[in-house]
A and B are shown apart, each in its own frame.
Chain A
Amino acid sequence: MRGTVTRKAAAALTALALLAAGCAAEEDAAPSGGSGDSGPIVVGAVEFTENIILQEMYALVVEDAGGEAELKQPLASREVLFPAVEEGDVNLVPEYTGALTTFVTGEEAEASSDGEELVAELREALEPEGIKVLEPAPAQDQDALVVTPETAEEYDLETVSDLAPVADELTAGGPPEEKERFVGLPGLKEVYGIEFADFRALDAGGPLTSNALESGQIDVARFFSTQGIIEQKGWVVLEEDKPLIPTENIIPVITEDVSTPEIEAALNDMSAELTTAEITALNKKVDVDKEDPQDVAKAWLEEKGLIGN
């Protein structure tokens, strides 16, 4: 009698163990690059709408070009995601020329550099690591400082320079990275002489930042120029009248080991069609109209004839 129980238990345990081992094997098979085009291409993104739309687009384009794409859950920031690319755990990410150059070279990207110079710098820095920087899209998404119309009127704000004399009365909000990145607080201080009374770490142009600006918990918010919510809420974007924010073309970055000429060509074709207006419209569909990023990406690609079906 007791024997049967133990046998049953042992059988159940063995089955579970085998199942678990199978799961574990699958986990390990989860790609870290894969050789050539035989392994899936892991497409990563940072946790914000535009990046996620781009991630979906890249994945669809890759699949259409004969590769196998796998989407990775979005991560908190470039600081978390890009090391994964350097390690080979993630293969393809949508990046921004200026910010990535700063991140990769460790030196502030010159606001005066034009797009091509930045791409050249990126290639120089990343090629030795086996990372390929493809062609930039015309579309740019730059860091933008945003205020409500009421604030703009009260403090007479039109350009970022207008903030300098009144900044010590204002609270700013943005992603945690804002405290460290040169295009954030340090640069604002150095280039514009702006020092805010306080800074609140929220998210990268996400619901926390929107909520905070709307409810008046912050006066100045860091958003990104292509976000639909700015227009939707009727907020005011302050004009960058001094050189701080570099050119930020959207650019695919892919690890060499998984890249093929077909995939690269397809991604470049896609980038060529992507203008600032286009990506802004797509962002709006997801953020404001609550459409699904994948649907929006697919519809756009089909409309432009970039994917087969």
Chain B
Amino acid sequence: MDWGWVQDHLDEIQSLFFQHAQFTLLALVYGFAIAFPLALAATRWPRLYTPILGLTGILFTIPSIALFMLMMPFTGPTATTCLIALTIYTLLVLVRNTVEGLKGVPREVREAAEAMGYRRFKQLFRVELPIALPVIIAGIRIAVVTTIGLVTITALIGFGGLGALFIDGFRQAFGTPIIVGFALSVLFAVAADLALVGVQRLLTPWARGGGSR
């Protein structure tokens, strides 16, 4: 482990980290933007749940390298290809957890809200979502950690975030960049996971008593 190398390459490591974080953030935002309406649709019209889950499930099973490559003939080795594939992989978990979260709202609560005159939209945002939040955030956590791991694979088509360090180390038969890339991406995932747990605690202070998932 060559610490001298690390010192010399702090700039590069930093910019790779930013690329990594950028991809992760974008994939999650786009993923949620697609998954949330889908989840709402699935709760509103329960018949849709199985097909939606089925489709996102199948997409999810497609190995990531395969998906990146499948898109190459159409969108080339570009950031767009990476983002589309990364977003797709967040969908299953986000849809599933959002739906389960919303389903988990006790009927009595929903009925009480209706009785109090809350209309659909208000009900959703003021009552159901806050209750569903822990499960939804659990889903976001899984999606974030998964995405952080997947970004490294995009190194095979010229991106990779911290994964690019793996390719560097490979080419030079040199372990240090690989160790750095590995350690940082795992640390990033762990930190993001913990941060989200923190966010959850902040947003749902009432849930602290009982066992949260």
Contacts of A130 in B (CB 8 A): none
Number of interface residues of B (CB under 8 A): 35
> Are the C-beta atoms of B172 and A6 separated by less than 8 Å?
no
Residues of A within 8 A of B104 (CB): none
A287 interface residue (CB < 8 Å to B): yes
- Those of B118-161 within 8 Å (CB) of chain A: 125-127, 129-130, 133, 155-160
Tell me which residues across on chain B come within 8 A of A49, comparing CB atoms.
Answer: 171-172
Q: Knowing A27-B22, A30-B79, say if A6 contacts B171 (CB, 8 Å).
A: no
Q: Are A286 and B22 in contact (CB under 8 A)?
A: no
Contact B25–A19 (Cβ < 8 Å):
yes
Q: How far is the CA of A260 from the CA of B181 in the complex (A)?
A: 37
Q: Does B199 contact A (CB under 8 A)?
A: yes
In the complex, whether B50 has a CB less than 8 A from a CB of chain A is no
Instruction: Assess whether B108 is interfacial by the CB under 8 Å rule.
Output: no
Residues of A within 8 A of B22 (CB): 23, 26-27
CB-CB nearest in chain B for A71: B12
A205 CB → nearest B CB, Å: 10
- Closest-by-CB residue of A relative to B199 is A12
CB-CB under 8 A from B173, the residues of chain A are 207, 210
Mostly helix, strand, loop or mixed at chain B's interface? helix
Contact of A16 (CB < 8 Å), options: B29, B79, B156, B202:
B29
Are A74 and B158 neighbours in the complex by a CB distance under 8 Å?
yes
Q: Which of A19, A30, A72, A206 contacts B158 (CB 8 A)?
A: A72
A8 close to B203 (CB less than 8 A): yes
Instruction: Report A-chain residues with C-beta under 8 Å of the C-beta of B130.
Output: 2, 5-6, 9
B203–A290 touching, CB < 8 Å: no
| Beta-carbon contact of B171 and A290 below 8 Å | no
Q: Which of B14-32 contact A (CB under 8 A)?
A: 22, 25-26, 29-30
Report yes or no: A84 in contact with B26, Cβ–Cβ below 8 A. Answer: no
- Bound form: Cα–Cα A26–B174 in Å: 32
B57 at the A/B interface (Cβ < 8 Å)? no
Known: A2-B130, A6-B126, A8-B202. A48 touches B171 (CB 8 A): yes
- Are the C-beta atoms of B167 and A74 separated by less than 8 Å? yes
B172 pairs with A47, CB closer than 8 A:
no
A299 within 8 A of B: no
Tell me if A75 and B29 are in contact (CB < 8 A): no
Chain A, interface SS category: helix
A10 contact set on B, CB distance < 8 A: 125
Is there contact, CB below 8 Å, between A9 and B164?
no
Which one of B130, B167, B170 has the highest number of Cβ atoms from chain A below 10 Å of its Cβ?
Answer: B130
Q: Specify the chain A residue showing the minimal Cβ separation from B156.
A: A76
Q: Check if A73 sits within 8 Å of B160, measured CB to CB.
A: yes
Write out the residue numbers on chain A whose beta carbons fall within 8 Å of the beta carbon of B212: none
A73 close to B159 (CB less than 8 A): yes
Q: Is B61 an interface residue (CB 8 A)?
A: no
Question: What is the minimal beta-carbon distance from A218 to any residue of chain B, in angstroms?
Answer: 17
A8 to chain B, nearest CB (A): 6
Whether, in the assembled complex, A17 has its beta carbon less than 8 Å from a beta carbon of chain B, the answer is yes
Interface residues of A in 32-57 (CB under 8 A from B): 47-49, 52
Asked if A89 lies at the interface with its beta carbon under 8 angstroms from chain B, I say yes
Name the residue on A nearest B167 (C-beta): A47
B36 to A, closest residue via Cβ = A13
| B204 and A47 form a contact (CB under 8 A) | no
Identify which of B29, B76, B77, B127 contacts A2 (C-beta below 8 A). B127
Near B by CB (< 8 A), chain A positions 191-230 give 206-207, 210
Flag whether A281 is at the interface (Cβ < 8 A).
Answer: no
Cβ-defined contact, A286 with B127, below 8 A? no
Find chain A residues with CB under 8 A from B29 CB: 16-17, 20
Contacts of A74 in B (CB 8 A): 158, 167
Residue A305 at the chain B interface, CB threshold 8 Å: no
Q: Is the CB of A73 within 8 A of B158?
A: yes
Query: How far does the alpha carbon of A87 sit from the alpha carbon of B75 in the complex, in Å?
Result: 12
Cα A47 to Cα B78 with chains together (Å): 17
7 smallest CB-CB distances across A and B, nearest first, come from A20-B29, A73-B158, A5-B130, A207-B173, A23-B22, A2-B130, A6-B125
11 CB contacts below 8 A, A to B, read A2-B130, A9-B129, A16-B29, A19-B25, A20-B26, A26-B22, A48-B171, A73-B167, A83-B76, A210-B173, A292-B9
